[in-house]
Amino acid sequence: MKVYRVGKTRYANDLTGEGAKLHGGRWNHIMTACIYTSESRALALLEYTVNVNIEDIPRSLSITTFEIPDDMAIQELSIAQLPGDWKEFPAPSSTKDFGTGLLDGANFPVIKIPSVVVSQEFNFLFNPKHPDFRKIKIIDVKDLVYDVRIKST
């Protein structure tokens, strides 16, 4: 299965989860490594867009394509399994606690979780601490020109 991440070009080949570890995210606290990906390029772009201010969008963006092996164990979560306030903005501590618990447990290399932006679609969280994570490969990195009309008023 292919999944996608939009981000700064200098981090396009990062497999450490350092960005999420340094800054935290909806599903992880600071100091917990995680790589956020999406099931489609469009969802990856939407997820990036809702998490960045227009003035902070760099000129050098890339879209990274990852390959998850077909036989890889994936923890699939439904909306009913998520904290009740999982869609709140900014991300509440309950979602960070929930996701960090899953990542720290390292039971799965990949967690499939509904997107806050489009809850019928899914994001895939990678856990770099899981021993099987090394089987996930970057298969493509392409430059991405951000269309500012997406964020214009």
Reading the chain (153 residues) residue by residue, the pLDDT tens digits are: 999 999 999 999 999 999 999 999 999 999 999 999 999 999 999 999 998 887 888 788 999 999 999 999 999 999 999 999 999 999 999 999 999 999 999 899 999 999 999 999 999 999 999 999 999 999 999 999 998 888 875
| Whole-number Å distance between alpha carbons of 50 and 130 | 28
Task: Specify whether the CB–CB gap between 125 and 96 falls below 8 A.
Answer: no
- Indicate whether this model's pTM tops 0.85: yes
Range of the domain at 6: 2-150
Which residue is listed with tokens 């903005």? 89
Domain count, the chain: 1
User: What type of residue is 45?
Assistant: L
| Whole-number Å distance between alpha carbons of 130 and 120 | 27
Q: Which of 38, 43, 17, 20 is nearest to 112 (CA)?
A: 38
Other CB atoms closer than 10 Å to residue 129's CB: what's the count?
15
Say what the pLDDT of residue 86 is. 98
| Measured CA angle at 51 (ends 49, 57), to 5 deg | 60
